[in-house]
Amino acid sequence: MLIVMRPDATAQDIERVNDEIRRRGWHPHAIPGGSRTAIGITGNPGAVEPEPFRVLPGVADAIPISQPFKLVSREVKQEDSQVRVGDLTLGGAAIHVIAGPCSVESREQIISTAQAVKKAGATMLRGGAFKPRTSPYEFQGLKGDGLALLAEARKETGLLVTTEVKDTATLAAVADHTDILQVGARNMQNFSLLEAVGETRKPVLLKRGISATIKELLMAAEYIVARGNTQVILCERGIRTFENMTRNTLDLNAVPMLKALTHLPVFVDPSHGIGVRKAVPAMMRAAVAAGADGLIVEVHPDPPRAKSDGFQSLDFSEFEKAMGEVRAIAAAMGREMVRLG
Amino acid sequence: MLIVMRPDATAQDIERVNDEIRRRGWHPHAIPGGSRTAIGITGNPGAVEPEPFRVLPGVADAIPISQPFKLVSREVKQEDSQVRVGDLTLGGAAIHVIAGPCSVESREQIISTAQAVKKAGATMLRGGAFKPRTSPYEFQGLKGDGLALLAEARKETGLLVTTEVKDTATLAAVADHTDILQVGARNMQNFSLLEAVGETRKPVLLKRGISATIKELLMAAEYIVARGNTQVILCERGIRTFENMTRNTLDLNAVPMLKALTHLPVFVDPSHGIGVRKAVPAMMRAAVAAGADGLIVEVHPDPPRAKSDGFQSLDFSEFEKAMGEVRAIAAAMGREMVRLG
Amino acid sequence: MLIVMRPDATAQDIERVNDEIRRRGWHPHAIPGGSRTAIGITGNPGAVEPEPFRVLPGVADAIPISQPFKLVSREVKQEDSQVRVGDLTLGGAAIHVIAGPCSVESREQIISTAQAVKKAGATMLRGGAFKPRTSPYEFQGLKGDGLALLAEARKETGLLVTTEVKDTATLAAVADHTDILQVGARNMQNFSLLEAVGETRKPVLLKRGISATIKELLMAAEYIVARGNTQVILCERGIRTFENMTRNTLDLNAVPMLKALTHLPVFVDPSHGIGVRKAVPAMMRAAVAAGADGLIVEVHPDPPRAKSDGFQSLDFSEFEKAMGEVRAIAAAMGREMVRLG
Amino acid sequence: MLIVMRPDATAQDIERVNDEIRRRGWHPHAIPGGSRTAIGITGNPGAVEPEPFRVLPGVADAIPISQPFKLVSREVKQEDSQVRVGDLTLGGAAIHVIAGPCSVESREQIISTAQAVKKAGATMLRGGAFKPRTSPYEFQGLKGDGLALLAEARKETGLLVTTEVKDTATLAAVADHTDILQVGARNMQNFSLLEAVGETRKPVLLKRGISATIKELLMAAEYIVARGNTQVILCERGIRTFENMTRNTLDLNAVPMLKALTHLPVFVDPSHGIGVRKAVPAMMRAAVAAGADGLIVEVHPDPPRAKSDGFQSLDFSEFEKAMGEVRAIAAAMGREMVRLG
């Protein structure tokens, strides 16, 4: 159920509605919009009768919502949500590119990569410190040292930083060193972690699980937003199919579908989405043409020697060339790409 | 095995190589290139020894080919193949768009659609006459009458025409009335049909099967080319995955992968690829940005009343708007879009 | 729509109903049952009004049918259908096993295999003569010679014979030499072929397509039955999924689902379903325990030297051992396994 | 690398090998067998030279292991591992059935179910207390109260108890009240949780992720065993495919594949595997026929009123009937089913 307030509703009117919701044991969620406020209801066990709300002062309408996701839905909020990270606005007219290595490996590696991707037009830096790996015997990241190196790269270049948060135990440390918390594909339905990042006020980049439906991705975002953290960016990163020539099948269909269903910004990870180095630039272009608000791309100074994901990482010159192509597509889409000073 | 001739090899040198291949009971396939000829060998039961060929006059090299597809492979022919249809060249600098209804329904419907899509910039007309349908009780097309209406629309507008050939029994009739033979997804591994269209000299648009790998698509094309018909256009049209919010999952990864593996032109069908009308234009743009050489799009004068696929067909104004967007993306890719006079 | 006749309805009553159906331009299909007849209607463009039929003499009820398959549905015919092949009854109390090589390779091979599988308890022989192959360069079968060898093996052993019919061009020849026409997975939606086998009166073993849903399999069967050939056996043979350790994923869920939805007999092909020789016996047992009416299993005198599918073929002693295990499971299911004299 | 000791190797010989492994910074893992001990090595960054180990006293052989899973591999330990839970032995000759509701809902519900499933032949009770749910607005379980009710049901009936552990925060509480820790499909690659249950000495039922390959399931088990907890039971519970008539596709192929690759016991969850109440008994039978060591089945006193998964839960009489059928299949497989006194 969504209570839509009139443009001239007062703060008192809104509080009155909230009280009515709480009196029933449910939870009100204010969703501020450009011209007026809407209030989502959660915690209700079943259908909610709209009548008792429609008669309250300041209420324009009470709309039953059929979809299992509510707060993230365009039905609840029509305008695009924008996520503020430092001085940047994600989900607005500008397209942003996050770039960097799969794993932080050394000071030299992360600083040189940060400088190169900044020069090529990226506005944010990625790099894994705590790495979830399929095998217990693979490189698991530099952990705390990796976080420190990311912070150093940020200081050096001014790039904002994102890194994956793997579990609740390391969440506080990761949140201290990073501008965006990345929730990886394997954790998309780790509900305890979703709730924990929902309790922070850090922006979250939520990756689609390898076999998650678009609807499940939206419900995972709902877990975070329901805890009060509305700063969520969704990320398509490829799904698992029978095709085995590519690492995953990048589902660009998800981009227009998500843009229609939700007000949250949508990013795409073409590196994991295809997993073939030479083909990554084509998918960067295609993602922007499909309507993505940004990209997250793996870049490494020397891909063949990367400790992880080298086969899908671009080197500096490949990335620079690809960024030029992306810029042309963005312009054709009527969108800008900002450059850090 | 591929025999690469020297640029200065004579016709006699080439014939000598062919003789050596035939003497072993195998088949030579000349693959003319810009600067020199290559000769593919088929019919060999296993690995071919390169040495006896390397010593022949005019031979530059004899290269063992590991992949199960040969004649369609970039290893065999590096330059892009171009398919000539009437005055058009597919697979060159220009991007071509085939548009029209799922099924030919009436004279009025197909003529008005042909005129509208031509005006919007399409260079070819599609329309189903013989329709393979999942249920025996669904509309199966106007059959012979549909072919005649397509021919009339071609005469009226100058648009070249493509329609699906469903079986060998109707191949001759379809070939008489159409410029491109379309082999549908369900028939991608109907080997008897592939062989039959391989015996014609009509261009073929070969659609990827709903659960076919990229490699299997190339092997299906190999069936056609091995019969002597080199005029093959590949078409990605979505694969079947667990995601059920969209009709199929359009696998745009296939575009850069195919362009790297084969010299054949690559088209994309965004209508079947996503199956959601409002989202088709986004996938038209994304396909071109990924590097596709053309599109095939469903357009209908009145989609809600279409006898088939109305839910994924654009109306005339939606198509015209989408074509404007595609033109901008094509320009950003450094490619042209021709307009029929 | 299904017209259910009363047990005491006369032939005249039934003919009256048929006339009413034909008068509307539709087609009646008599479905004889144990105690009474039902009449399916096909060819109707949309919903059928039940009232005009309910008032006719001898009519017990007129039931609207929601599912897109009709004639093959349990709603139309509650009792299990039994398919007669020679002296055998498929789909009854007895479980039948069809066994033999992927391809007929030589007289010696097919005769020795026929003798071995008969001794182990198989009642029918399989063997490919016309082989659809993914690559045009693979072994395509002995064709006409293969059919002749199958006929010879039948004469020698008394085993009934099944082989794949690949296209309409070879249908007559295959039908002349075989007791059951096998329609392969790649041809499950080759509707022209389905219609052609529907015109014969030979039993058909219809294999599920590699990415066909259970519902699509039933609609493919509907194509055959709608042409008048009710002797259809369905065959689950594995679907394509992300799991790549096995050739396909044998979907045994399909067995109880099909048994609930249709009256047709259900067989299982564990050889293609798992594609791993050592694991085939486990899946033979599981299929029978799930409720399958029979199995089709690949057996070869010398699997490592088979021209096709050797990696999934059992040798004679493996097959004999597996049949002993299957017999125990069949007994636990309260089903018999007949032996040819 | 696996060091295989001679049957007559002394404890001193074994300790010498361990020292050599530790001296290199790696970790030895003793794997006791019936007649002799093997020692697995983990923590080695790459290939291990076998020679320095082969010359040590008491060493029979040093075998390089190619697969990415080691400790759980049959190459490392040929005999079946048996997991002891209370007085029960899982993975031995007896087949065990765990049964109970999806969620613990009330004292009455869990006690009556425990009594009914015990009477029908189950030896363990299941019931969810902390429920991971796709939507934040669905019933999330009785949590601590649910654990207490499970403990009460155990005391009342003598059935051992399993429940899902959802995160590290609740692990200690769950471990206190349950005999087997269940790791759910969504957490199969929650590596922090796997490591945490690996630090306990409780038996673990590890469910296959909805899109996890068989190899990934084995690597998830490796995470647990590498931490020293060897009491792991694997559980196939259905994978996500394009088929949407069933909730998941139960991959019974996984049973013989896992039995060949690993020494760990293999269970099957037919309730989630097919998700259709009427069809669950068929899949219970098929799982045992495929070689499973046990089943986990959802049973509820009144399925239509269950708070979760009612559509796939058996009622008491359906379960009792199904258990009779399973007992017949188990006997045909030469396996016993014990009954609690």
- Can you give the residue range of the structural domain that contains B53? 2-63
Residue D143 has pLDDT above 60, yes or no: yes
Q: What is the Cα–Cα distance from A181 to A124, expressed in whole angstroms?
A: 13
Q: What is the Cα–Cα distance from A235 to A306, expressed in whole angstroms?
A: 24
Contact C262, C77 (CB under 8 A): no
Residue A71 has pLDDT above 80, yes or no: yes
Residue C28 has what pLDDT? 85
Q: What is the DSSP letter of C210?
A: T
Residue A29 has what pLDDT? 80
CA angle in degrees (0–180, nearest 5) for C170-C171-C177: 95
Domain for residue C69, yes or no? no
Contact D45, D39 (CB under 8 A): no
Q: What is the Cα–Cα distance from A96 to C207, expressed in whole angstroms?
A: 50
Same domain, B93 and B153: yes
Best mutation site among C26, C66, C131, C167 for testing chain B: the one with the most B CBs within 10 Å? C167
For residue range B256-315, what is the model confidence (pLDDT) as tens digits? 999 999 999 999 999 999 999 999 999 999 999 999 999 999 999 999 888 888 899 999
State the pairing for strand pair D160-164/D124-126: parallel
Instruction: Work out the percent of chain D whose per-residue pLDDT is above 90.
Output: 73
Contact A254, A218 (CB under 8 A): no
Asked if C244 reaches chain A (Cβ–Cβ under 8 Å), the answer is yes
Q: Is the dihedral of CA A294, A300, A305, A307 positive or negative?
A: negative
Asked if B148 reaches chain A (Cβ–Cβ under 8 Å), the answer is no
The better pLDDT of the pair C67, B227 is held by B227
Asked if C11 reaches chain D (Cβ–Cβ under 8 Å), the answer is no
Contact D150, D127 (CB under 8 A): yes
Same domain, C243 and C158: yes
Residue C51 has what pLDDT? 80
Contact C11, C37 (CB under 8 A): no
Domain for residue A108, yes or no? yes
Q: What is the Cα–Cα distance from A41 to D281, expressed in whole angstroms?
A: 41
Q: What is the Cα–Cα distance from A283 to C226, expressed in whole angstroms?
A: 46
Chain C residues near residue A242 by CB distance under 8 angstroms: 211, 240-242
For residue range A268-291, what is the model confidence (pLDDT) as tens digits? 999 999 999 999 999 999 999 999
Nearest CA in chain C to A240: C242
Same domain, C53 and C98: no
Domain for residue A215, yes or no? yes
Q: Which residues contact D64 (CB under 8 A, 6 or more apart)?
A: D1, D47, D48, D50
Asked if D240 reaches chain B (Cβ–Cβ under 8 Å), the answer is yes
State the pairing for strand pair A96-100/A88-90: unpaired
Q: What is the Cα–Cα distance from C200 to C207, expressed in whole angstroms?
A: 18
Residue D283 backbone phi and psi in degrees, to 5: -80, -25
Contact C209, C217 (CB under 8 A): yes
Residue A184 has what pLDDT? 97
Q: Is the dihedral of CA C179, C185, C190, C194 positive or negative?
A: positive
Chain C residues near residue A240 by CB distance under 8 angstroms: 242
Residue A43 has pLDDT above 60, yes or no: yes
Domain for residue A96, yes or no? yes
Of the candidate ranges A145-149, C118-122, C128-132, the one whose mean pLDDT is the lowest: C128-132
Cβ distance of C213 and D243 shorter than 8 Å: yes
Give the number of other Cβ atoms within 10 Å of residue D16's Cβ.
15
Best mutation site among B67, B73, B134 for testing chain C: the one with the most C CBs within 10 Å? B134
Domain boundary among C63, C92, C114: C63
Please count the structural domains in chain C: 2
Cβ distance of A279 and B286 shorter than 8 Å: no
Chain A residues near residue D216 by CB distance under 8 angstroms: 134
Interface of D with B in 185-214 (CB under 8 A): 211
Same domain, C59 and C90: no
Instruction: Work out the percent of chain A whose per-residue pLDDT is above 70.
Output: 97
Residue A3 has what pLDDT? 85
Same domain, D45 and D173: no
Same domain, D244 and D107: yes
Nearest CA in chain A to B324: A332
Give the number of other Cβ atoms within 10 Å of residue B315's Cβ.
17
Domain for residue D185, yes or no? yes
Q: What is the Cα–Cα distance from A121 to C284, expressed in whole angstroms?
A: 59
Asked if C68 reaches chain D (Cβ–Cβ under 8 Å), the answer is no
Work out the average pLDDT over D303-313. 88
Same domain, C160 and C34: no
Asked if D251 reaches chain A (Cβ–Cβ under 8 Å), the answer is no
Q: What is the Cα–Cα distance from B8 to B36, expressed in whole angstroms?
A: 8
Nearest CA in chain C to A248: C242
Give the number of other Cβ atoms within 10 Å of residue A41's Cβ.
24
Work out the average pLDDT over C282-299. 98
Give the number of other Cβ atoms within 10 Å of residue D45's Cβ.
10
Per-residue confidence band for D67, with pLDDT thresholds at 50, 70 and 90 = low
Same domain, D138 and D42: no
Asked if A218 reaches chain B (Cβ–Cβ under 8 Å), the answer is no
CATH (domain of B281): 3.20.20.70
Cβ distance of D279 and C257 shorter than 8 Å: yes
The letter for the amino acid at A26 is: W
For residue range D264-285, what is the model confidence (pLDDT) as tens digits? 999 999 999 999 999 999 999 9
Q: What is the Cα–Cα distance from D49 to D40, expressed in whole angstroms?
A: 14
Q: Which of A225, A279, A235 is nearest to A258 (CA)?
A: A235
Asked if A239 reaches chain B (Cβ–Cβ under 8 Å), the answer is yes
pLDDT, mean over chain A: 92
Q: Which residues contact D304 (CB under 8 A, 6 or more apart)?
A: D310
- How many CA atoms, within 13 angstroms, populate the side-chain half-sphere of residue B284? 34
Best mutation site among D242, D248, D251 for testing chain B: the one with the most B CBs within 10 Å? D242
CATH (domain of C21): 3.30.70.1140
Q: How close is the nearest chain C Cα to the Cα of D328, in Å?
A: 5
Chain A residues near residue B251 by CB distance under 8 angstroms: 241, 243, 249
Chain C residues near residue D289 by CB distance under 8 angstroms: 282, 285-286, 288-290, 329
Q: What is the ipTM of this complex?
A: 0.87
Asked if D234 reaches chain C (Cβ–Cβ under 8 Å), the answer is no
Contact D263, D233 (CB under 8 A): no
State the pairing for strand pair D266-268/D294-298: parallel
Domain for residue D76, yes or no? no
Q: Which of B135, B136, B192 sits opposite C167 (nearest CB)?
A: B192
Q: What is the Cα–Cα distance from C261 to C259, expressed in whole angstroms?
A: 6
Q: How close is the nearest chain D Cα to the Cα of B211, in Å?
A: 10
Give the tokens for residue B79. 């330059």
Give the tokens for residue B269. 């069908």
Q: How close is the nearest chain B Cα to the Cα of A290, in Å?
A: 5
Of the candidate ranges A162-166, B137-141, D147-151, the one whose mean pLDDT is the lowest: B137-141
Domain for residue D280, yes or no? yes
Chain B residues near residue A245 by CB distance under 8 angstroms: 213-215, 257
- Give the three-state DSSP class for A217: helix
Cβ distance of A286 and B282 shorter than 8 Å: no
Give the A:B interface size as CB pairs under 8 Å. 129
Nearest CA in chain C to D273: C253
- pLDDT tens digit at each of 341 positions of chain B: 778 888 888 989 999 999 988 888 888 887 766 667 778 787 776 667 788 888 889 998 887 665 677 899 988 888 999 999 999 999 999 999 999 999 999 999 999 999 999 999 999 999 999 988 888 877 889 999 999 999 999 999 999 999 999 999 999 999 999 999 999 999 999 999 999 999 999 999 999 999 999 999 999 999 999 999 999 999 999 999 999 999 999 999 999 999 999 999 999 999 999 999 999 999 999 999 999 999 999 999 999 888 888 899 999 999 999 999 999 999 999 999 988 87
What are the DSSP calls for B159-174, one per residue? Answer: -EEEEE---GGGHHHH
Give the tokens for residue B96. 């071509």
- How many CA atoms, within 13 angstroms, populate the side-chain half-sphere of residue C55? 3
Same domain, C47 and C159: no
Q: Is the dihedral of CA A163, A167, A168, A172 positive or negative?
A: negative
Same domain, D113 and D238: yes
Same domain, C225 and C90: yes
Chain B residues near residue C136 by CB distance under 8 angstroms: 42, 191, 219, 222-223, 226
Contact B255, C170 (CB under 8 A): no
State the pairing for strand pair A266-268/A294-298: parallel
Asked if A169 reaches chain D (Cβ–Cβ under 8 Å), the answer is yes
Nearest CA in chain B to C167: B192
Q: How many helices (H) and strands (E) does chain A have?
A: 11, 14
Same domain, B160 and B35: no
Q: What is the Cα–Cα distance from A94 to A106, expressed in whole angstroms?
A: 31
Residue A83 has what pLDDT? 96
Contact D178, D166 (CB under 8 A): no
Residue A16 has pLDDT above 80, yes or no: yes
Best mutation site among A73, A243, A280 for testing chain B: the one with the most B CBs within 10 Å? A243
Residue A32 has pLDDT above 70, yes or no: no
State the pairing for strand pair C37-42/C2-5: antiparallel
- Give the three-state DSSP class for B127: coil
Domain for residue B140, yes or no? yes
